[in-house]
Structure 1
Amino acid sequence: MKEILREIGMIARALDSISNIEFKEFDLAKGQYLYLVRVVENPGIIQEKLAEMIKVDRTTAARAIKKLEINGFIEKRNDKQNQKIKKLFPTEKGKEVYHSIIKENDHSNMVALAGFSESEIETIYHLLQRVRKNVEIDWEYVKKGNTRDY
Protein backbone atom coordinates (compact mmCIF):
# COMPACT_ATOMS: atom_id res chain seq x y z
CA MET A 1 0.00 0.00 0.00
CA LYS A 2 1.21 3.51 -0.79
CA GLU A 3 2.23 5.62 2.21
CA ILE A 4 -0.47 8.25 1.64
CA LEU A 5 -0.67 9.33 5.27
CA ARG A 6 3.09 9.92 5.35
CA GLU A 7 2.76 12.18 2.33
CA ILE A 8 -0.15 14.06 3.92
CA GLY A 9 1.84 14.37 7.15
CA MET A 10 4.91 15.75 5.38
CA ILE A 11 2.79 18.30 3.54
CA ALA A 12 1.02 19.33 6.74
CA ARG A 13 4.26 19.65 8.73
CA ALA A 14 5.98 21.67 5.99
CA LEU A 15 3.07 24.09 5.67
CA ASP A 16 2.72 24.35 9.45
CA SER A 17 6.43 25.11 9.76
CA ILE A 18 6.20 27.83 7.11
CA SER A 19 3.17 29.36 8.82
CA ASN A 20 4.78 29.31 12.26
CA ILE A 21 7.83 31.13 10.88
CA GLU A 22 5.83 33.69 8.92
CA PHE A 23 3.31 34.39 11.69
CA LYS A 24 5.98 35.04 14.36
CA GLU A 25 5.84 38.70 13.37
CA PHE A 26 2.25 38.77 14.69
CA ASP A 27 3.22 37.12 18.00
CA LEU A 28 1.29 34.00 17.07
CA ALA A 29 2.94 31.01 18.68
CA LYS A 30 3.00 27.54 17.19
CA GLY A 31 -0.30 26.56 15.61
CA GLN A 32 -2.32 29.38 17.17
CA TYR A 33 -3.28 30.70 13.74
CA LEU A 34 -5.53 27.63 13.30
CA TYR A 35 -7.59 28.62 16.32
CA LEU A 36 -7.73 32.29 15.38
CA VAL A 37 -9.02 31.50 11.88
CA ARG A 38 -11.82 29.33 13.26
CA VAL A 39 -12.83 31.97 15.83
CA VAL A 40 -12.94 34.74 13.21
CA GLU A 41 -14.95 32.52 10.86
CA ASN A 42 -17.25 31.32 13.69
CA PRO A 43 -17.68 34.22 16.13
CA GLY A 44 -19.34 33.07 19.34
CA ILE A 45 -18.02 29.52 19.06
CA ILE A 46 -17.49 27.67 22.32
CA GLN A 47 -14.13 26.18 23.26
CA GLU A 48 -15.28 22.55 23.05
CA LYS A 49 -16.63 22.97 19.51
CA LEU A 50 -13.41 24.73 18.46
CA ALA A 51 -11.30 21.83 19.79
CA GLU A 52 -13.51 19.40 17.88
CA MET A 53 -13.15 21.41 14.67
CA ILE A 54 -9.36 21.44 14.87
CA LYS A 55 -9.21 17.83 16.08
CA VAL A 56 -7.32 18.43 19.31
CA ASP A 57 -8.09 17.59 22.92
CA ARG A 58 -9.73 20.19 25.13
CA THR A 59 -6.58 20.80 27.19
CA THR A 60 -4.53 21.64 24.10
CA ALA A 61 -7.27 23.95 22.87
CA ALA A 62 -7.57 25.63 26.28
CA ARG A 63 -3.84 26.48 26.32
CA ALA A 64 -3.91 27.95 22.80
CA ILE A 65 -7.10 29.91 23.49
CA LYS A 66 -5.65 31.32 26.72
CA LYS A 67 -2.54 32.53 24.86
CA LEU A 68 -4.64 34.09 22.11
CA GLU A 69 -6.72 35.85 24.75
CA ILE A 70 -3.64 37.09 26.66
CA ASN A 71 -2.12 38.41 23.43
CA GLY A 72 -5.31 40.26 22.49
CA PHE A 73 -6.41 38.22 19.45
CA ILE A 74 -9.65 36.88 20.93
CA GLU A 75 -11.90 37.53 23.88
CA LYS A 76 -14.25 35.38 25.93
CA ARG A 77 -17.78 36.57 26.63
CA ASN A 78 -20.47 35.06 28.81
CA ASP A 79 -23.47 33.56 27.07
CA LYS A 80 -26.58 35.64 27.71
CA GLN A 81 -28.72 32.63 28.70
CA ASN A 82 -26.11 30.58 30.58
CA GLN A 83 -23.33 32.46 32.39
CA LYS A 84 -21.25 29.26 32.64
CA ILE A 85 -20.84 29.14 28.87
CA LYS A 86 -18.00 31.26 27.50
CA LYS A 87 -18.15 32.21 23.84
CA LEU A 88 -15.09 33.18 21.83
CA PHE A 89 -14.93 36.28 19.66
CA PRO A 90 -12.12 37.85 17.65
CA THR A 91 -10.82 41.26 18.64
CA GLU A 92 -9.99 43.92 16.05
CA LYS A 93 -6.36 42.81 16.28
CA GLY A 94 -7.44 39.22 15.61
CA LYS A 95 -9.51 40.26 12.59
CA GLU A 96 -6.58 42.22 11.13
CA VAL A 97 -4.18 39.28 11.49
CA TYR A 98 -6.80 36.95 10.04
CA HIS A 99 -6.52 38.68 6.66
CA SER A 100 -2.77 37.99 6.55
CA ILE A 101 -3.35 34.36 7.51
CA ILE A 102 -5.88 33.93 4.70
CA LYS A 103 -3.47 35.51 2.19
CA GLU A 104 -0.79 33.03 3.27
CA ASN A 105 -3.29 30.17 3.02
CA ASP A 106 -4.34 31.19 -0.49
CA HIS A 107 -0.70 31.44 -1.54
CA SER A 108 0.10 28.01 -0.07
CA ASN A 109 -2.88 26.52 -1.91
CA MET A 110 -1.66 28.02 -5.19
CA VAL A 111 1.85 26.67 -4.67
CA ALA A 112 0.65 23.22 -3.59
CA LEU A 113 -1.79 22.87 -6.49
CA ALA A 114 0.39 24.38 -9.23
CA GLY A 115 0.16 22.31 -12.40
CA PHE A 116 -3.10 20.60 -11.45
CA SER A 117 -6.23 21.04 -13.56
CA GLU A 118 -9.51 22.22 -12.01
CA SER A 119 -10.81 18.68 -12.39
CA GLU A 120 -7.79 17.22 -10.58
CA ILE A 121 -8.15 19.78 -7.78
CA GLU A 122 -11.82 18.83 -7.34
CA THR A 123 -10.87 15.16 -7.25
CA ILE A 124 -8.12 15.72 -4.67
CA TYR A 125 -10.51 17.76 -2.54
CA HIS A 126 -13.25 15.14 -2.56
CA LEU A 127 -10.85 12.27 -1.95
CA LEU A 128 -9.24 14.07 0.99
CA GLN A 129 -12.67 14.78 2.46
CA ARG A 130 -13.38 11.05 2.32
CA VAL A 131 -10.04 10.28 4.00
CA ARG A 132 -10.79 12.83 6.74
CA LYS A 133 -14.24 11.37 7.37
CA ASN A 134 -12.77 7.88 7.68
CA VAL A 135 -10.16 9.10 10.15
CA GLU A 136 -12.75 11.07 12.15
CA ILE A 137 -14.57 7.83 12.94
CA ASP A 138 -11.45 6.40 14.60
CA TRP A 139 -10.66 9.75 16.22
CA GLU A 140 -14.08 9.83 17.91
CA TYR A 141 -13.75 6.17 18.91
CA VAL A 142 -10.29 6.57 20.50
CA LYS A 143 -11.21 9.93 22.06
CA LYS A 144 -13.92 8.10 24.03
CA GLY A 145 -11.28 5.83 25.58
CA ASN A 146 -11.56 2.92 23.17
CA THR A 147 -8.66 1.04 21.58
CA ARG A 148 -8.53 0.19 17.92
CA ASP A 149 -7.86 -3.37 16.74
CA TYR A 150 -4.91 -3.53 14.34
Structure 2
Amino acid sequence: MTEILRDIGMIARALDSIANIEFKQYDLTRGQYLYLVRIYEQPGIIQEKLAEMIKVDRTTAARAVKKLEENGFIERKDDEENKKIKRLFPTNKGKEVAPYILAENAYSNAVALNGLSKEEAEVLSDLLEKVRENIEVDWNAVKKGQKRNYNY
Protein backbone atom coordinates (compact mmCIF):
# COMPACT_ATOMS: atom_id res chain seq x y z
CA MET A 1 0.00 0.00 0.00
CA THR A 2 1.25 3.46 -0.88
CA GLU A 3 2.18 5.62 2.10
CA ILE A 4 0.92 8.86 0.55
CA LEU A 5 0.11 10.42 3.92
CA ARG A 6 3.78 10.28 4.91
CA ASP A 7 4.70 12.26 1.80
CA ILE A 8 1.84 14.71 2.33
CA GLY A 9 2.93 15.13 5.96
CA MET A 10 6.56 15.76 4.98
CA ILE A 11 5.50 18.32 2.39
CA ALA A 12 3.19 20.07 4.85
CA ARG A 13 5.81 20.17 7.62
CA ALA A 14 8.53 21.45 5.28
CA LEU A 15 6.32 24.25 3.93
CA ASP A 16 5.10 25.11 7.43
CA SER A 17 8.69 25.33 8.65
CA ILE A 18 9.68 27.59 5.76
CA ALA A 19 6.64 29.84 6.30
CA ASN A 20 7.27 30.09 10.05
CA ILE A 21 10.83 31.28 9.37
CA GLU A 22 9.82 33.71 6.62
CA PHE A 23 6.85 35.21 8.46
CA LYS A 24 8.74 35.66 11.72
CA GLN A 25 9.70 39.15 10.47
CA TYR A 26 5.99 40.07 10.65
CA ASP A 27 5.66 38.72 14.21
CA LEU A 28 3.47 35.86 13.02
CA THR A 29 4.13 32.77 15.05
CA ARG A 30 3.53 29.13 14.20
CA GLY A 31 0.63 28.74 11.83
CA GLN A 32 -1.00 32.11 12.50
CA TYR A 33 -0.48 33.06 8.87
CA LEU A 34 -3.07 30.41 7.87
CA TYR A 35 -5.74 32.07 9.98
CA LEU A 36 -4.82 35.59 8.89
CA VAL A 37 -4.96 34.83 5.19
CA ARG A 38 -8.34 33.07 5.49
CA ILE A 39 -9.76 36.06 7.38
CA TYR A 40 -8.26 38.36 4.74
CA GLU A 41 -9.86 36.29 1.97
CA GLN A 42 -13.21 36.10 3.78
CA PRO A 43 -13.66 39.20 5.91
CA GLY A 44 -16.46 38.75 8.41
CA ILE A 45 -15.97 35.00 8.79
CA ILE A 46 -16.93 33.56 12.16
CA GLN A 47 -14.38 31.71 14.26
CA GLU A 48 -16.18 28.34 14.08
CA LYS A 49 -16.21 28.40 10.27
CA LEU A 50 -12.55 29.40 10.27
CA ALA A 51 -11.65 26.42 12.49
CA GLU A 52 -13.60 24.10 10.21
CA MET A 53 -11.87 25.52 7.14
CA ILE A 54 -8.39 25.02 8.59
CA LYS A 55 -9.35 21.66 10.14
CA VAL A 56 -8.51 22.44 13.74
CA ASP A 57 -10.53 22.23 16.93
CA ARG A 58 -12.24 25.31 18.33
CA THR A 59 -9.73 25.75 21.16
CA THR A 60 -6.78 25.83 18.77
CA ALA A 61 -8.57 28.34 16.55
CA ALA A 62 -9.52 30.48 19.56
CA ARG A 63 -5.87 30.69 20.70
CA ALA A 64 -4.65 31.68 17.23
CA VAL A 65 -7.42 34.24 16.76
CA LYS A 66 -6.76 35.74 20.19
CA LYS A 67 -3.05 36.08 19.41
CA LEU A 68 -3.74 37.66 16.02
CA GLU A 69 -6.10 40.11 17.70
CA GLU A 70 -3.59 40.93 20.48
CA ASN A 71 -0.91 41.58 17.84
CA GLY A 72 -3.16 43.88 15.84
CA PHE A 73 -3.63 41.71 12.72
CA ILE A 74 -7.38 41.18 13.09
CA GLU A 75 -10.35 42.59 14.96
CA ARG A 76 -13.64 41.15 16.12
CA LYS A 77 -16.85 42.97 15.40
CA ASP A 78 -20.38 42.24 16.54
CA ASP A 79 -22.69 40.80 13.92
CA GLU A 80 -25.27 43.41 12.95
CA GLU A 81 -28.23 41.08 13.56
CA ASN A 82 -27.01 38.80 16.35
CA LYS A 83 -24.74 40.47 18.92
CA LYS A 84 -23.60 37.07 20.25
CA ILE A 85 -21.84 36.40 16.95
CA LYS A 86 -18.39 37.93 16.56
CA ARG A 87 -17.12 38.38 13.02
CA LEU A 88 -13.43 38.49 12.21
CA PHE A 89 -11.88 41.16 10.01
CA PRO A 90 -8.29 41.98 9.06
CA THR A 91 -6.96 45.29 10.38
CA ASN A 92 -4.84 47.57 8.22
CA LYS A 93 -1.79 45.73 9.59
CA GLY A 94 -3.35 42.39 8.59
CA LYS A 95 -4.21 43.73 5.14
CA GLU A 96 -0.59 44.82 4.66
CA VAL A 97 0.86 41.41 5.58
CA ALA A 98 -1.67 39.12 3.86
CA PRO A 99 -0.39 39.77 0.30
CA TYR A 100 3.06 38.50 1.36
CA ILE A 101 1.46 35.32 2.68
CA LEU A 102 -0.45 34.87 -0.57
CA ALA A 103 2.74 35.49 -2.56
CA GLU A 104 4.59 32.86 -0.51
CA ASN A 105 1.74 30.42 -1.15
CA ALA A 106 1.83 31.07 -4.90
CA TYR A 107 5.60 30.63 -4.94
CA SER A 108 5.41 27.39 -2.92
CA ASN A 109 2.74 26.07 -5.28
CA ALA A 110 4.95 26.86 -8.27
CA VAL A 111 7.94 25.14 -6.67
CA ALA A 112 5.85 22.10 -5.71
CA LEU A 113 4.51 21.74 -9.26
CA ASN A 114 7.85 22.33 -10.98
CA GLY A 115 8.38 19.76 -13.73
CA LEU A 116 4.72 18.75 -13.91
CA SER A 117 2.69 19.50 -17.00
CA LYS A 118 -0.49 21.53 -16.65
CA GLU A 119 -2.49 18.31 -17.08
CA GLU A 120 -0.45 16.48 -14.42
CA ALA A 121 -0.92 19.37 -12.01
CA GLU A 122 -4.68 19.31 -12.59
CA VAL A 123 -4.84 15.53 -12.07
CA LEU A 124 -2.80 15.87 -8.86
CA SER A 125 -5.11 18.63 -7.65
CA ASP A 126 -8.21 16.54 -8.40
CA LEU A 127 -6.78 13.49 -6.65
CA LEU A 128 -5.72 15.46 -3.57
CA GLU A 129 -9.19 16.98 -3.40
CA LYS A 130 -10.66 13.47 -3.33
CA VAL A 131 -8.21 12.43 -0.61
CA ARG A 132 -9.14 15.53 1.43
CA GLU A 133 -12.85 14.78 1.03
CA ASN A 134 -12.29 11.20 2.19
CA ILE A 135 -10.41 12.38 5.27
CA GLU A 136 -13.04 15.05 6.04
CA VAL A 137 -15.66 12.32 6.53
CA ASP A 138 -13.60 10.77 9.35
CA TRP A 139 -12.56 14.18 10.69
CA ASN A 140 -16.20 15.22 11.06
CA ALA A 141 -17.17 11.88 12.61
CA VAL A 142 -14.33 11.86 15.15
CA LYS A 143 -15.01 15.51 15.98
CA LYS A 144 -18.52 14.42 16.96
CA GLY A 145 -17.18 11.68 19.24
CA GLN A 146 -17.39 8.68 16.92
CA LYS A 147 -14.69 6.04 16.83
CA ARG A 148 -13.04 4.89 13.62
CA ASN A 149 -12.98 1.20 12.72
CA TYR A 150 -9.40 0.19 11.91
CA ASN A 151 -10.47 -3.21 10.56
CA TYR A 152 -11.02 -2.08 7.00
Equivalent position of 1:59 in the other structure: 59
Q: Percent identity?
A: 69
Distance 1:93 1:100 in 2: 12
Distance 1:45 1:102 in 2: 18
Counterpart code for 2:4: I
Over the aligned positions, Cα root-mean-square deviation in angstroms equals 0.4
Q: Deviations over 1:77-103 (max 9, x none)?
A: 001111110000001110110010011
Is 1:82 aligned to residue 78 of structure 2? no
Distance 1:79 1:12 in 2: 34
Equivalent position of 1:44 in the other structure: 44
The normalised TM-score by structure 2 is 0.98
Question: Tell me, what secondary structure is at the counterpart of 2:13?
Answer: helix
Give 1:15 deviation, angstroms.
0.2
Distance 2:29 2:3 in 1: 30
Question: Tell me, what secondary structure is at the counterpart of 2:56?
Answer: coil
Question: Tell me, what secondary structure is at the counterpart of 2:23?
Answer: helix
Equivalent position of 1:128 in the other structure: 128
Counterpart code for 1:90: P
Distance 1:2 1:83 in 2: 49
Distance 1:143 1:21 in 2: 31
Question: Tell me, what secondary structure is at the counterpart of 1:69?
Answer: helix
The normalised TM-score by structure 1 is 0.99
Say how many residue pairs are matched. 150
Stretches of 4+ aligned residues off by more than 6 angstroms: none
Counterpart code for 1:126: D
Counterpart code for 2:41: E
Distance 1:93 1:143 in 2: 34
Q: Which runs of 5+ in 1 are unaligned?
A: none
Give 1:71 deviation, angstroms.
0.4
Give 1:143 deviation, angstroms.
0.3
Equivalent position of 1:22 in the other structure: 22
